[in-house]
Structure 1
């Protein structure tokens, strides 16, 4: 004979803040023998008993907590892994794309400048040209490696463009070597070789490099926007599990007339902590990866574009002299480039760039503008010797301001890139350990609810 057991508040194992208003309304004996008919299936009979309903509720809660918690944990892990890929592959690939464009343009600028001076290039210019070509080759290899690792939608196109540049680079370098040899021998054909090399550079290599720049910048921006979006679906799942946990506690109160259960309270606290932790992480990731990154990326992109345009303009100045052309049309383009550089410097200053670099870049831009005006005047009046002196690297009259400007822009770009990487790092740091913490708290919540319900189930044994 099964005997109904009643539990007093003093003997209850979880009587903390419990108030026993009435004994349990049902006993296993009464349910099975007194109040409900015995059915053919003992399993269907058991599910209609209070212990059966408790166990069913516990199973549902367990499944919801584990599914929501582990799903959110996996989502956070995937986000952390994706941000790590952005930091280690996608963003460096974008930076290498800028270096590729700048190195190619700088090599072409130095090669063209060699023909406005008598005799061979100075040792400094030879080293600068060689370093630019080597940097271009190295950057192309880094971009290809990053495209393979990133597996983005544009990776295949980036790989094709890099291979095109790698095929054209030896051809370009070979034509420039022929141009230098003929120049030293005094053959006019040297200018033709140099012009052909520059045409390959501008019509093929720089076009490909520019497209790589656009693709890699778009990839980084898109990834940062995607990875900084709140995880609404996963958060909603965990919030639903929390609501189910609260409803289950209300149901237990209706059954047992005990208002609080330490196990369920601990589980509720664990879920609330998990939700708060993920919520704060999502907010920090959004602030760093979306708002902060976009704010820092804008001057970086503008500075890279301004530097490349400045290098192209410098090469155009050299070709105007070699071809004995008027520089008046290019002067209007120069004004546009000068405005672009000025805007980029102002944007860098607005986001906190070094004041000394900003002031220096402005001063060098002003000096280059003054030299350009003198160059236009010299070409228009046919004073080619004076124009050559302005563009002669060894003379220092015109090249020093441009080189100083190029150096200042390069440093501003490096500083801006560090700012963008800092926001990527902040977004990545916001997701660290969150996956593990959510998984542990979810499992802990499940253990707590089973530990909390154990005394209640024991009342029916």
Structure 2
């Protein structure tokens, strides 16, 4: 009986399948011999060492990128966000001081207000250009840009009415202050929180241990040790030079990785604890002092027109005076009572208050000195404020105003001293952060390319060591 001829596809399927099977059988047969086993072992050892180098280079590069971001991107953006908040708060405080001075506001005060607004605007432009991937930050920047012209317009309306001696100027200023505190500063605060959260994420990425690289290194060294022992048991040779060189190269990479990352982690922890966290607390302290100063000024502007309407012990009291007391409580830890000095002879600041925390976070005398001096000046400010309030309560408004916005001996002088001292402390802590962050980045320098190069040398050495054994079978 005749059968149809086999098609080309069917005819070729059998030989290909047979060739594949034949290749597998040859490889299996080769693996049962000692030379075949050695070839497999050499390939596995080389692959493990190369994988160790590649994973190390990858993970170290990721951590170095994160450390670079901490020092050059996220922390500067966080600092810019804090400066935006501070500039806006200072503009609001300065506007109130200018209003209290009357129709002929001092040129110095006016210039400070304009510089604050200009600085905030420029920082917003820079933040918008550098804030990548953060929808929250972009939204808050947009909101601030929309509200800032509204605020400045209200301040200008207050100034115009104040020049003419119209009481409506005070209402405009209070409305401007409500816009600043109810909308602008909360948006600036959320921007600061978003950038600070991003800084925290970069810190975590930079400090996380490269467990994948460490695990791969341990496996590679274990495999090299096993291969060395196998070689010894079969040949009675104590050392295989190729395998020994490969193990040495892998051990160097593993030790370099552990030591380098450990040093980088320690330096980054230092930059966080005594740099970034100090800066955060000092920024909060400076902002609280600005808000306290703004409330102090607005107490005289409003003259009791704004009271606390919420139920509680402060209900019915002057809202701005209550706000001043709250800011001072956060800053120094009480409502104005002088606690003297603590057990160490330092200026009194209640534990947990912003200035006490800032002092504790400073890691040297150069950082603690301006904070201690600021605490003393805040106490002086509180004492002067009480005298000014007593004059205002007695009906001596002009005397009270002079004690608040006057020159020597006024609360304004105390506030300026506190602000300058906190600025000095911030500058010092910024330098401390930069030094520690640079040390952290420096500890990882050269590790990624070095690990790659040593891994290639180790893989080559492993193949050479196995090659020496193979040559004995020829």
Matches of 2:404 and 2:246, distance apart in 1: 76
**Cα deviation code 1:23-43 (max 9, x no counterpart):** xxxxxxxxxxxxxxxx99443
- Answering whether residue 421 of structure 2 is matched by residue 421 of structure 1, we say no
**So what's the TM-score if we normalise by structure 2?**
0.83
- Answering whether residue 414 of structure 2 is matched by residue 401 of structure 1, we say yes
Of 321, 332, 336, the match for 1:338: 332
* Cα gap change, 1:431 to 1:40, in 2 (>3 Å): closer
Match of 1:50 in 2: 34
Matches of 1:249 and 1:310, distance apart in 2: 69
Match of 1:17 in 2: none
**Cα deviation code 1:5-40 (max 9, x no counterpart):** xxxxxxxxxxxxxxxxxxxxxxxxxxxxxxxxxx99
Task: Identify the range of structure 1 (289-298 vs 270-279) with the bigger mean alpha-carbon deviation.
Answer: 289-298
**Cα deviation code 1:255-304 (max 9, x no counterpart):** 22211121111111111100000000121122122355234333322211
* Cα gap change, 1:67 to 1:334, in 2 (>3 Å): closer
Match of 1:208 in 2: 187
* Cα gap change, 1:139 to 1:119, in 2 (>3 Å): same
- Answering whether residue 147 of structure 2 is matched by residue 168 of structure 1, we say yes
* Cα gap change, 1:297 to 1:365, in 2 (>3 Å): same
- Answering whether residue 86 of structure 2 is matched by residue 107 of structure 1, we say no
Match of 2:243 in 1: 264
**Cα deviation code 1:346-369 (max 9, x no counterpart):** 225455444542343233222211
Task: Identify the range of structure 1 (259-268 vs 410-419) with the bigger mean alpha-carbon deviation.
Answer: 410-419
Shift of residue 344, structure 1, vs aligned partner: 4.0
Matches of 1:182 and 1:49, distance apart in 2: 101
**Cα deviation code 1:145-203 (max 9, x no counterpart):** 3321xx3xxx1111101110011111211221222222222222222222221111100
- Answering whether residue 292 of structure 2 is matched by residue 298 of structure 1, we say no
Match of 1:24 in 2: none
Of 294, 307, 311, the match for 2:286: 307
Shift of residue 250, structure 1, vs aligned partner: 1.1
Matches of 2:208 and 2:268, distance apart in 1: 9
Match of 2:116 in 1: 132
Shift of residue 141, structure 1, vs aligned partner: 2.2
* Cα gap change, 1:396 to 1:143, in 2 (>3 Å): farther
Give 3-state SS (helix, strand or coil) of 2:239's partner.
Answer: coil
Shift of residue 455, structure 1, vs aligned partner: 2.5
Match of 1:434 in 2: 447
Task: Identify the range of structure 1 (286-295 vs 111-120) with the bigger mean alpha-carbon deviation.
Answer: 286-295
Paired residues of 1:263 and 1:448 also in contact (CA < 8 A): yes
Matches of 2:193 and 2:79, distance apart in 1: 11
- Answering whether residue 285 of structure 2 is matched by residue 285 of structure 1, we say no
Paired residues of 1:225 and 1:289 also in contact (CA < 8 A): no
* Cα gap change, 1:359 to 1:40, in 2 (>3 Å): closer
Shift of residue 53, structure 1, vs aligned partner: 0.8
Paired residues of 2:274 and 2:429 also in contact (CA < 8 A): no
The aligned runs of 1:143-158 (5 Å cut-off) are 143-148=127-132, 151=133, 155-158=134-137
Of 62, 67, 70, the match for 1:86: 70
Matches of 1:332 and 1:178, distance apart in 2: 29
Paired residues of 2:291 and 2:327 also in contact (CA < 8 A): no
Of 217, 224, 234, the match for 1:245: 224
Matches of 1:308 and 1:331, distance apart in 2: 12
Paired residues of 2:282 and 2:355 also in contact (CA < 8 A): no
**Cα deviation code 1:363-391 (max 9, x no counterpart):** 32222112111122122222211111012
Matches of 1:347 and 1:136, distance apart in 2: 30
* Cα gap change, 1:88 to 1:352, in 2 (>3 Å): same
Task: Identify the range of structure 1 (451-460 vs 429-438) with the bigger mean alpha-carbon deviation.
Answer: 451-460
Q: How many residues align structurally?
A: 418
Shift of residue 251, structure 1, vs aligned partner: 1.2
Root mean square deviation, CA, Å: 2.2
**So what's the TM-score if we normalise by structure 1?**
0.85
